[in-house]
C-alpha cells in the first residue's frame, strides 16, 4: 500500500468535525450560565498557542506521527511507554464518544433500542472507513462538513424567532471564577482533544502545512461551537440549559415556523452522527497506528477490526448511566486529559527543540 496523503482542505474538515463532534449535542462545560460564550472565546484563544506547538512538532519531525516522534525523542523504552498511554487515550476517547451517541439514542431518539445497537452500527462504519484508509475518511469529512454547515446555518436562521435576548443579561453575574472554570473545561473538551490528530500527521502533505490545518480548523470549529452555544442560550436560557443532557436537541425542538415546520430536531441529529463518525474514525485510526508502531506490525490495517470491536464493547460498560457520563465529561475529564493534551506534548516539544539545537551546533562545529 502506498503512503496515505490527504490534501489540507480535507485535513481541515477532519479537524473541524473532530472538534465539534460530541460538543455540538452535549454542549460544553456550563458553570458560568449566560457568560459561557466568554469562556468559549477564552478557550479558543488558549488553544491557539498549543496548536502552534503541535504544528512546530510537524516541522521538527516532517513525515512522522506522534508515535514516531515519541520513540525518536525519548528512546525505545520510555517512548513506547508514552505510546501505550496515547493508545489508551485514543481508545478511551473513542469509547467515550460512542457512549455519548449511545446515551443520546437511549435517552431521546431510540428509547426502546438497546444502547449497544446504534453504537455497534456507527462503530462498524468507522472500522470500514479506517480499513479503507485515511483518504476515505478525508473525503467523507469534506463532504460531511459541507452538509453539517448547511444544517447548522438553516437551523440557526430558523431559531431566530425564538431568541430571547434578555437571557444574555446580567453578564458575568457570578463573576470571573465560573468563567475560568468553564474555560479550563472547554479547553480540554473539545478543543485540545485535537492532540489525537498528531497521530495522523503522516497524512499531511508537506512540511509546515500543519499550522494552517490546525489553526484554521480550531478557529472555524470555535466559531461553530460559539454560534451553537449562543443559540442554545438565547432559546433556552441559562437555567434550563444547565439542567439538560442534550441542550441542542431541545433548542432545535422549539423551532416552529407557522405551525408547519416543526419537530425538525430528528433531522438536526444527523449532524451529531456525521461528526461523531469522523471523531471515532480518527481515534480508531490513531489507536491502530500506535499499536502497529509499538509492536512493529507491517500495517495498521491488521488490527483495525479488533481494536474497533474493543472500542465498541468498552463503550457499553465504561459508565453506569448518563449521570456518570456527564460527571466524567465535565468534572473529571479536564484533569484526566491534561497530561495527554498539554504536558506530554510540551515535554516532547522542549526535548525536541534541545535535540535540534544540539545537532545544529554539532554540524556548525564540523564545518
Partner 1 sequence: MPIVVVLIYVFIVWLDAYGLLKQGKKRDFYMCSVLCLISFSLAFSLAMHWQIPSPSAPIVRFIQQLF
Stretch that binds partner 1, among 43-51, 59-67, 238-246, 323-331 (CB under 8 A): 323-331
Nearest approach, Cβ of residue 188 and partner 1 (Å): 12
Nearest approach, Cβ of residue 185 and partner 1 (Å): 14
Question: Of 352, 367, 362, 300, which is closest to residue 73 (Cα–Cα)?
Answer: 352
Using CB under 8 A as the binding rule, whether residue 303 contacts partner 1 is answered as: yes
Nearer CB in complex with partner 1: 113/299: 299
Question: If DSSP states are collapsed to H, E and C, what string results for the chain?
Answer: CCCCCCCHHHHHHHHHHHHHCCHHHHCCCCCCHHHHHHHHHHHHHHHHHHHHHHHHHHHHCCCCCHHHHHHHHHHHHHHHHHHHHHHHHHHHHHHHHHHHHHHHHHHHHCCCCCCHHHHHHHHHHHHHHHHHCHHHHHHHHHHHHHHHHHHHHHHHHHHHHHCCHHHHCCCCCCCHHHHHHHHHHHHHCCHHHHHHHHHHHHHCCCCCHHHHHHHHHHHHHHHHHHHHHHHHHHHHCHHHHHHCCCHHHHHHHCCEECCCEECCHHHHHHHHHHHHHHHHHHHHHHHHHHHHHHCCCCCHHHHHHHHHHHHHHHHHHCCCCHHHHHHHHHHHHHHHCHHHHHHHHHHHHHHHHHHHHHHHHHHHHHC
Using CB under 8 A as the binding rule, whether residue 181 contacts partner 1 is answered as: no
Nearest approach, Cβ of residue 59 and partner 1 (Å): 32
Stretch that binds partner 1, among 16-24, 27-35, 305-313, 350-358 (CB under 8 A): 305-313
Q: Which of 8, 52, 309, 322 binds partner 1 (CB under 8 A)?
A: 309
Q: Which of 67, 104, 319, 349 binds partner 1 (CB under 8 A)?
A: 319
Q: Which of 113, 262, 267, 306 binds partner 1 (CB under 8 A)?
A: 306
Q: Which of 42, 136, 314, 347 binds partner 1 (CB under 8 A)?
A: 314
- x/- string (CB under 8 A) for partner 1, residues 250-289? ----------------------------------------
Using CB under 8 A as the binding rule, the residues of this chain from 89 to 148 that contact partner 1 are: 92, 116
Q: Which of 108, 136, 297, 347 binds partner 1 (CB under 8 A)?
A: 297
Using CB under 8 A as the binding rule, whether residue 76 contacts partner 1 is answered as: no
Check the CA dihedral 281-285-291-295 and report its sign.
positive
Rounded CA-CA distance 236/162 in Å is 9
Count of residues in contact with partner 1, rule CB under 8 A = 28
Rounded CA-CA distance 269/104 in Å is 10
Q: Which of 73, 151, 291, 352 binds partner 1 (CB under 8 A)?
A: 291
Q: Which of 3, 317, 363, 365 binds partner 1 (CB under 8 A)?
A: 317
Using CB under 8 A as the binding rule, whether residue 84 contacts partner 1 is answered as: no
Stretch that binds partner 1, among 77-85, 183-191, 262-270, 304-312 (CB under 8 A): 304-312
Using CB under 8 A as the binding rule, the residues of this chain from 327 to 366 that contact partner 1 are: 327-328, 332, 335-336
Distances (CA, A) of 292 to 7, 81, 354: 24, 14, 28
Stretch that binds partner 1, among 46-54, 213-221, 228-236, 321-329 (CB under 8 A): 321-329
Nearest approach, Cβ of residue 335 and partner 1 (Å): 5
Q: Which of 174, 262, 324, 359 binds partner 1 (CB under 8 A)?
A: 324
Question: Of 322, 148, 130, which is closest to residue 220 (Cα–Cα)?
Answer: 148
Q: Which residues bind partner 1 (CB under 8 A)?
A: 92, 116, 291, 295-299, 302-303, 305-307, 309-310, 313-314, 316-320, 324, 327-328, 332, 335-336
Amino acid at each position: 500500500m502506498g503512503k496515505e496523503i490527504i490534501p489540507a482542505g480535507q485535513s481541515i474538515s477532519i479537524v473541524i468535525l473532530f472538534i465539534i463532534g460530541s460538543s455540538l449535542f452535549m454542549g460544553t462545560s456550563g458553570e458560568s450560565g449566560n457568560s459561557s460564550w466568554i469562556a468559549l472565546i477564552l478557550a479558543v484563544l488558549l488553544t491557539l498557542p498549543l496548536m502552534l506547538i503541535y504544528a512546530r512538532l510537524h516541522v521538527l519531525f516532517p513525515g512522522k506521527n506522534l508515535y514516531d516522534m515519541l520513540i525518536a525523542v525519548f528512546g525505545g523504552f520510555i517512548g513506547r511507554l508514552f505510546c501505550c498511554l496515547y493508545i489508551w487515550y485514543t481508545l478511551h476517547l473513542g469509547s467515550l464518544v460512542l457512549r455519548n451517541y449511545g446515551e443520546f439514542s437511549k435517552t431521546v431518539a431510540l428509547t426502546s433500542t438497546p444502547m449497544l445497537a446504534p453504537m455497534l452500527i456507527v462503530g462498524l462504519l468507522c472500522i470500514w472507513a479506517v480499513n479503507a484508509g485515511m483518504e476515505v475518511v478525508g473525503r467523507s469529512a469534506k463532504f460531511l462538513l459541507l452538509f453539517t454547515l448547511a444544517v447548522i446555518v438553516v437551523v440557526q436562521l430558523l431559531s431566530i424567532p425564538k431568541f430571547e435576548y434578555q437571557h444574555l443579561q446580567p453578564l458575568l453575574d457570578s463573576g470571573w471564577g465560573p468563567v475560568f472554570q468553564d474555560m479550563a473545561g472547554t479547553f480540554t473538551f473539545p478543543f485540545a482533544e485535537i492532540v489525537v490528530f498528531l497521530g495522523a500527521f503522516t497524512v499531511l502533505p508537506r512540511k509546515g502545512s500543519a499550522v494552517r490545518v490546525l489553526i484554521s480548523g480550531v478557529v472555524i470549529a470555535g466559531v461553530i461551537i460559539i454560534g451553537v452555544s449562543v443559540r442554545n442560550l438565547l432559546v433556552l436560557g441559562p437555567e434550563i440549559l444547565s439542567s439538560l443532557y442534550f441542550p441542542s436537541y431541545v433548542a432545535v425542538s422549539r423551532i416552529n415556523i407557522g405551525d408547519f415546520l416543526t419537530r425538525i430536531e430528528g433531522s438536526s441529529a444527523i449532524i451529531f452522527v456525521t461528526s461523531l463518525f469522523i471523531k471515532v474514525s480518527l481515534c480508531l485510526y490513531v489507536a491502530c497506528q500506535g499499536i502497529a508502531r509499538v509492536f512493529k506490525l507491517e500495517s495498521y490495517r491488521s488490527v483495525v477490526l479488533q481494536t474497533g470491536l474493543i472500542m465498541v464493547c468498552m463503550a457499553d460498560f465504561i459508565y453506569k448511566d448518563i449521570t456518570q457520563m456527564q460527571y466524567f465529561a465535565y468534572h473529571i475529564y479536564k484533569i484526566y486529559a491534561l497530561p495527554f493534551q498539554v504536558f506530554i506534548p510540551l515535554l516532547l516539544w522542549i526535548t525536541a527543540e534541545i535535540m535540534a539545537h544540539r545537532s545544529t551546533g554539532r554540524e556548525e562545529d564540523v564545518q
